[in-house]
Amino acid sequence: MERPLVVPPFDPADQVTAGVGPGGPAAPVGADGVDIQDLETRTYPDETIFVVYVAPRDFRAAVQLGNGLDSVFSSQGFTGFVSVREGQPPKSKTSDLMDARVEEMMNLLVARSRASEMHPSLSYVPDIAGNISAVQSQRHHLVFGRRGAGKTALLVEGKRLIEAAGHSATWLNLQVYRWEEPASVFAQIAKEIAEAMLRVLASEPATEVAAGAEMLRGKADHVLASEAPPLDDARKLLPEANRALRRFCLDSDRRLYVFLDDFHYVRRNAQPQILDLAHGMTRDTDVWLKVAAIRNLTRWYSPTEHLGLQTVHDADTIDLDITLSDPARAKAFLETVLQRFADQAGLRSLLGVFHKRALDRLVLASGGVPRELPDVGCSSY
């Protein structure tokens, strides 16, 4: 009895590997084979794209083969095409969780999930709102966000870009001064600003501008020498500080940005006073305050005393909290953050480490907080 002829089903992926693989071209193409360095299959609702990576010397032949395969797909009723790329794929695939690159990624998550001025983010990921532009603008800003929301990372990146543009910046982490008197905190801010001006003026120390900055530093040191200086001592610094800043900005033709990180650590009842003094010091100058804090731990304005930074009028706010009320936005941003760690470790895709459903659950477990995502992801390893 004669056996029936069995025709294997049409498999476009097999056609691609047969057409450009080491085994030779697919029959309908009739061209020399090309070794595939990597093949990606991207499936969409209406079509499928095969992205083929080949060596530069094989690129032209691979394009011809790809065009031939497109005709084969069309004749078989398959909606899709071949896209040929020259060179190596971005990263090689990982086969399992014992891969050394996975361990490297986890080590990076532990070591680099927290940013500081001395240790910036592994790779800054711009948020959807484009707040990095606001941080560089000539406007006072209050940057709010939960712990781990990216306040420090935003300020550090802003400082880097500002200095790269030729402007000046100074940085204070207010956690260091959480137990200090309000006058001492402001005097420390004034001293840091004076030293920032003197760094710029180092090449010409005999100028009137440099003398004003030096005088401001000396007066700030005098306030800091007291164990519990009264607030009036800090207020007396204002005219000298404002005069020195106006002269500096006019003479140097540059802006000065003052970054105050973790401002919420300052005693709550003293916060409006300190911000009011800092704001007064910068009036009619090209000096801009960028203050990062946790909103519910911060009192940035006292309406009864008319002290502090009044939002809209004196300063704008930047809110970095990403909530799960917009899960698609949160997922896209947080996965991008995690992918940067994978890129640094040499991993092409997070899906080589986490299942797609696991990534969705990581986003939920993190509560939309960027720092929590690496922590939760690392603990699941």
Consecutive H or E run containing 41: strand 38-43
Which position has the higher pLDDT, 87 or 191?
191
Answer yes or no: do 102 and 208 share one domain.
Answer: no
Which pLDDT does position 381 carry in this prediction?
52
Answer yes or no: do 144 and 208 share one domain.
Answer: yes
Which pLDDT does position 68 carry in this prediction?
83
Answer yes or no: do 142 and 23 share one domain.
Answer: no
Give just the sign of the alpha carbon dihedral 227, 228, 231, 232: negative
- For position 283, which CATH number holds? 3.40.50
Answer yes or no: do 313 and 326 share one domain.
Answer: no
Confidence band for 32, pLDDT divided at 50, 70 and 90 = low
Cα end-to-end span (Å), the chain: 59
β-bridge partners, 172: 260
Which pLDDT does position 81 carry in this prediction?
83
In a domain, 7, yes or no: no
Cβ-based neighbours of 130, under 8 Å, separated by 6 or more: none
Which pLDDT does position 40 carry in this prediction?
77
Answer yes or no: do 142 and 123 share one domain.
Answer: no
Please tell me the distance from the alpha carbon of residue 91 to that of residue 351, in angstroms, as a whole number. Answer: 13
**Contact predicate 80/12, CB 8 Å:** yes
In a domain, 3, yes or no: no
Indicate if the pLDDT at residue 103 is higher than 70: yes
For 63, 66, 304, 372, the CA distances from 31, given in Å and listed in that order, are 11, 10, 83, 53
In a domain, 1, yes or no: no
Quote the pTM value: 0.63
Which pLDDT does position 83 carry in this prediction?
84
Answer yes or no: do 39 and 110 share one domain.
Answer: no
Number of domains present in the structure of the chain: 3
Which pLDDT does position 245 carry in this prediction?
95
Which pLDDT does position 314 carry in this prediction?
94
CA atoms within 13 A on the CB side of 376: 21
What is the C-alpha radius of gyration for the chain, rounded to an integer number of angstroms?
A: 29
Give just the sign of the alpha carbon dihedral 310, 311, 317, 321: positive
Please, what is the Cα angle at 188 between 118 and 175, to 5 degrees? Answer: 50
Instruction: Tell me which residue range forms the domain holding 221.
Output: 131-319
Answer yes or no: do 269 and 152 share one domain.
Answer: yes
Give just the sign of the alpha carbon dihedral 77, 80, 84, 90: negative
Q: Which of 54, 73, 70 is nearest to 62 (CA)?
A: 54
Reading the block at residue 236, the tokens are 């007396």
Consecutive H or E run containing 84: strand 80-86
Confidence band for 292, pLDDT divided at 50, 70 and 90 = very high
In a domain, 194, yes or no: yes
Answer yes or no: do 207 and 295 share one domain.
Answer: yes
CB count within 10 Å of CB 115 equals: 23
- For position 76, which CATH number holds? 3.30.300
Q: What is the mean pLDDT of residues 255-264?
A: 96
**Contact predicate 94/102, CB 8 Å:** yes
Name the DSSP class of 269.
Answer: G
Which position has the higher pLDDT, 200 or 25?
200
Confidence band for 25, pLDDT divided at 50, 70 and 90 = very low
Indicate if the pLDDT at residue 5 is higher than 50: no
| Residue at 173: amino acid letter | N
Average pLDDT of every residue of the chain: 80
Which pLDDT does position 6 carry in this prediction?
38
In a domain, 241, yes or no: yes
Backbone angles phi, psi at 291, to 5 degrees: -110, 120
Which pLDDT does position 143 carry in this prediction?
95
| Model confidence pLDDT, tens digit, residues 208-250 | 899 999 999 999 999 999 888 999 999 999 999 999 999 999 9
Which pLDDT does position 114 carry in this prediction?
63
In a domain, 121, yes or no: yes
Which position has the higher pLDDT, 149 or 123?
149
Q: Which of 377, 375, 368, 376 is nearest to 145 (CA)?
A: 368
Q: Which of 299, 319, 339 is the last residue of a domain?
A: 319
Angle of helix 100-112 relative to helix 372-379, nearest 10 degrees? Answer: 140
**Contact predicate 311/269, CB 8 Å:** no
Cβ-based neighbours of 301, under 8 Å, separated by 6 or more: 272, 275, 307, 308, 309, 310, 311, 314
Q: Which of 54, 86, 118 is the last residue of a domain?
A: 86
In a domain, 264, yes or no: yes
Answer yes or no: do 156 and 290 share one domain.
Answer: yes
In a domain, 331, yes or no: yes
Which pLDDT does position 191 carry in this prediction?
95
Q: Which of 319, 338, 354 is the last residue of a domain?
A: 319
Answer yes or no: do 225 and 371 share one domain.
Answer: no
Answer yes or no: do 262 and 145 share one domain.
Answer: yes
Answer yes or no: do 96 and 158 share one domain.
Answer: no
